[in-house]
Structure 1
Amino acid sequence: MQREQISVFDIFKIGIGPSSSHTLGPWRAAQQFTASLVRLDLLNKVTQVKILLYGSLAKTGKGHGTDIAILLGLTGADPVTFDVNAIDSTVDIIKRDRRLPLSGGRDIDFDYIEDLLFLFAESLPFHPNAVTFQAFLQDGTAFSETYYSIGGGFVVKEGESGNEKEQVELPFPVEKAADLLHWCLTTGLKVSEVVQENELAWRPEPETRRGILQHFHVMKDCIYRGCHTSGFLPGGLNVARRAASLNKRLIGSAVYTNYEEWVMAIRNGGNSFNYILDWVSCFALAVNEENASFGRVVTAPTNGAAGVIPAVLQYFITFCDGFTEDKIIQFISCASEVGSIFKKGATISAAMGGCQAEIGVSSAMAAAALTECLGGSQRQVLMAAEIAMEHHLGLTCDPIGGLVQVPCIERNTMGAIKAITASQLALQSNPDKAKVSLDAVVHTMWETALDMNSKYKETSDGGLATNIPISLPEC
């Protein structure tokens, strides 16, 4: 049986908000479907396409932009490079003209209402996030494929295991935290160093460094943009953006013109507990307000939790003198390994495990990374991840109106603060006396996910989603 091999670039992906499982995953699925049409020489024979959304993709699809992502994916647009300012106009033209330009092919007739179906009452057994693409051909036949968006932008096609990626010979294979600790203690390597050694099986070290730093640049640009953009979030809830006003209040009269000067201005503003706490919250708010606005973010490991790791990394950069390329690469590398352990042993999909699978996992990742970068031992790194997740167990996913806004955005601030607290606890503790291992909490999280009622798993059928009276416009 093939083991799942997960790279740092599987856990961290550049994409567009608001959801990795409901936006980025379906976007990638649409791209894979058109690639199948090309491979089978069917693309120019297509006369009609129908899209069937099942389960959670149907129930919260509009709020999460699933329909938008799929249409863009079918046109050949890529979430890494597509101009986020062109999203609305591109989709509006498709709806208005009732024409869909298939990627690499010709325009076909497309009726948004008739050809993109939200099957609210139907769910497929493999995973709650399912989409079927049907292509009708000139000769009267049809071709279809079903995809599952399993969290974090990962996509599995019906009939495949998801492990089809070419297998490589990893020097340090890791399935569980115990495996990781074994390699660390045997070799003396840090968690991030184990990751870097494994990454060499996929690509040369300079390429990995460039890729990680590219992801960091997207993170920092997202924070900076979010801290300087005001207004209201789209979707009908009329949620006001808060990061910009908080940034303005905290920065005071300081003058700056770019990210680096901004960081220096924040440092010069003080280091009191309240001041730092406010800034960490501001960083997290900024990212997830961008995410909710269909901005470009880094899935870390999901879009709904995209603010936790950047906020803690920005805390490390700003208040712990972590602004070096080596430290940033160390942070992201260490975080990725903890994320992969949760992906292999449980889930990072809110549709499978509730918000513990998103905010909980991202908080554990951030706690581990911060602990290593602050000089913690390998055992303290794993202890920090365990502490962070232990105090997110059972967290439900209940987005109001199916939008990644309330309570999602504030939950990122909570996840970031918990990560810093978990790191400090681990750094001041003896891991030999810990009662709970990281593997135990991963297993517990998965058991909790299996027991959790489906209405608390990104369906908007329970929790705050049903207890807050709202009236959203049809879209």
Structure 2
Amino acid sequence: MPHEAISVFDMFKIGVGPSSSHTLGPWRASLRLLESIRAKASLDDVRAVTVMLYGSLAKTGIGHGTDIAVILGLCGDDPETVDVSSITTRIQEISTGKTLMLGGANRINFEPQVNVVFLFSEALAFHPNGMTFLVQMNNGHQWSETYYSIGGGFVVKEGEDESAGTPVDLPFPIDTADDLLHWCIKTGLPIYEVVLENETAWRAEQATRTGLRRIWQTMKECMYRGCHTKGTLPGGLFVKRRAYDLNKKLLGQAVYHDYTTWIEAIKKGGMDFRYILDWVSCFALAVNEENAAFGRVVTAPTNGAAGVIPAVLQYFICFAGGEDEEKIFRFLLTASEIGSIFKKGATISAAMGGCQAEIGVSSAMAAAGLTEALGGSQRQAMMAAEIAMEHHLGMTCDPIGGLVQIPCIERNTMGAIKAITASQLALQSMPDYAKVSLDKVIATMWNTALDMNSKYKETSDGGLAVQLPISLSEC
């Protein structure tokens, strides 16, 4: 099997909520379609485009904003830079005018309720998150392309190797945890330095550091925004935002003006266990409330699990001496490698593996990142990742109403707390005595995913979703 090279910026992608597989992935698939059209002809030669959504994309697509994502992708908008405050207005204008500017260049007739088709009872064989674009040209020629959103914003075209991409020659090729440990032992390098060396296959080291700085800046902005935005989340469940009130309660009459002074105010609150626990929950709630409201977030490794890593990293900064930027880089680089190993050995798609593939993987990533940033050994970092995943095995994905809200938002708080606990356990343990390796738990996770009933894989056909049934039309 060819080695799959995954960069830190493949695992951490800046995008728009609420879902990496149901929002960011379809958005990127639409952008890839535009590239394909340009390669075949010209955007001006296109008369119409219809999008067919299958499987999980159809069943929970309305709640996840899949239709919105493919429309904005067809318009040529970039999920990293689009003005998120304009999304609702843009979609309303397209719906009312019944046209869109394909790639920003060619105005075509387009009715969202006609040209985006939800095939609730059909699924494609390769992956539950399938979509087919039907393109009609002015000369009468018609053709189609099928894409799959395989989790974490990763997209593959039908017939394309899932691991296909720009070929790179990594100094330390890694597919498994054993591979990672091999290179750490052979070189004597900690995990983050092995990863940093591999990143030079894509770009200069300074560019990687600049990119990591941008990733963390986006996470910080998301947390701060979420802690200072009140109201109700969109979608029909009328879920009240909680991070705003919790932030206000914890800080009392403290005065601050921006992120930096906010963190200073938080630190002044002391080191009481319950105080720290509340803040970890608050950080995670803030991110995933923003995610649910179509805010800008970072896949870590997915949107639905985007709050775990920022919350644990913010905990590290506020309560464990992690203010130094170099330590933050260590955390992110280590976390990304653990996430990539899970992707290669199992999945990071809830539609394939349930929520263990999202919250479970994010918790394992955060546990390893925190352990290495706190000075733990390579074995301890991998042990922390194993512990975190071991206690997420079998977690189902059963979003009520197909929305990334209940139970998704609270699960991020639990994943963050488990990551911190897993890190502490690993730091106080001897990995030589561990009975379960990281590779074994990854294999177990994948086998569990294969055994899991499809109704527990992001379809809203089972679990909590049927205890409080919400019609998709209500959302």
TM-score under structure 2 length normalisation: 0.99
Contact kept? 2:168, 2:202, Cα under 8 Å: yes
Task: Determine the structure 2 residue equivalent to 1:378.
Answer: 378
In structure 2, the residue matched to 1:74 is 74
CA offsets 1:308-329 (integer angstroms, 9 cap, x no match)? 0000000001111211211111
Structure 2, unpaired ranges of 5+: none
1:237 — aligned with what? 237
In 2, the alpha carbon distance for the partners of 1:275 and 1:471 equals 39
Structure-to-structure mapping, 1:187-226, within 5 angstroms: 187-226=187-226
Q: Structure 2 CA distance, aligned partners of 1:106 and 1:359?
A: 41
The one-letter amino acid paired with 2:76 is G
**SS of residue paired to 1:52:** strand
Matches within 5 A, 1:356-371: 356-371=356-371
User: How do 1:30-45 and structure 2 match up within 5 A?
Assistant: 30-45=30-45
Contact 2:227 2:247 in 1 (8 A): yes
Label 1:22 to 1:469 Cα distance change in 2 as closer, same or farther (>3 A). closer
The answer on 1:298 being equivalent to 2:314 is no
Contact kept in structure 1, 2:284 and 2:308, CA below 8 Å:
yes
Is contact 1:237–1:472 with CA below 8 Å preserved after alignment?
Answer: no
Distance 2:149 2:42 in 1: 24
Look up the SS of the partner of 1:132 in the other structure.
strand
Do 2:394 and 2:445's aligned partners in 1 also have CA atoms closer than 8 Å?
Answer: yes
Match of 1:409 in 2: 409
What is the distance in 2 between the residues matched to 1:15 and 1:469?
A: 29
Task: List aligned pairs for 1:40-189, cutoff 5 A.
Answer: 40-189=40-189
Local SS of the residue matching 2:287: helix
Structure 1 residue 474 displacement after superposition: 4.0
Q: Name 2:453's counterpart in structure 1.
A: 453
1:29 is aligned to 29
| Deviation of 1:105 (Å) | 2.7
User: Is 1:4–2:10 an aligned residue pair?
Assistant: no
Q: CA deviation at 1:104?
A: 4.1
SS at match of 1:287: helix
Q: Which runs of 5+ in 1 are unaligned?
A: none
* 1:270 CA displacement: 1.1
Deviation at 1:42, TM superposition (A): 3.6
CA RMSD of aligned residues (A): 0.9
Does the 8 A contact of 2:47 with 2:136 survive in 1? yes
TM-score by length of 1: 0.99
Aligned residue identity for 2:62: K
**What is the distance in 1 between the residues matched to 2:227 and 2:405?**
17
What is the deviation of 1:48? 1.1
Q: From the superposition, tell whether residues 370 and 210 of structure 1 become closer, same or farther in structure 2 (CA, over 3 Å).
A: same
Is 2:280 aligned against 1:280? yes
Tell me how far apart the structure 1 counterparts of residues 83 and 45 of structure 2 sit (CA, whole Å): 29
Q: CA shift at 1:99, angstroms?
A: 0.4
Aligned to 1:340: 340
Is the deviation greater in 139-148 or in 8-17?
139-148
Pairwise CA distance, 1:163: 2.8
Asked whether the 8 Å contact 2:54–2:119 carries over to 1, the reply is yes
Structure 1 segments (4+ residues) deviating >3 Å? 469-475
Report deviation, 1:106.
1.2
Partners of 1:398 and 1:309 in 2: how far apart? 22
Aligned equivalent of 2:425: 425
Match for 2:179: what amino acid? D
Are residues 323 and 179 of structure 1, via their aligned partners in 2, closer, same or farther at CA, if it must alter by over 3 Å? Answer: same
Question: Is the contact between residue 64 and residue 403 of structure 2 (CA under 8 Å) also seen in structure 1?
Answer: yes
Q: CA–CA distance in 2 between the matches of 1:461 and 1:470?
A: 11
Report if the CA contact (8 A) 1:236-1:473 is conserved.
no
Distance (Å, rounded) in 1 between the aligned partners of 2:329 and 2:353: 29
* Partner SS state of residue 280, structure 2: helix
8 Å CA contact 2:402, 2:472 repeated in 1: no
CA distance in 2, matches of 1:458, 1:141: 36
Mean alpha-carbon deviation: is it higher for 102-111 or for 304-313?
102-111
Q: Could you tell me how far apart the structure 2 residues matched to 1:348 and 1:175 are?
A: 15
| AA at the equivalent of 1:426 | A
Distance across 2 between alignment mates of 1:143 and 1:455? 33
- Distance in 1, matches of 2:282 and 2:460, equals 27
One-letter code aligned to 2:416: A
In structure 2, the partner of 1:13 is 13
Secondary structure of the 2:23 match is: helix
Q: Matched residues in 2 for 1:262 and 1:104: separation? A: 40
Report the alpha carbon displacement of residue 469 of structure 1 after superposing the two structures with TM.
4.2
Percent sequence identity over aligned pairs: 68
Mapped to 2, the partners of 1:381 and 1:3 lie a distance apart of 23
Aligned counterpart, 1:253: 253
User: Which letter does structure 2 place at the counterpart of 1:355?
Assistant: C
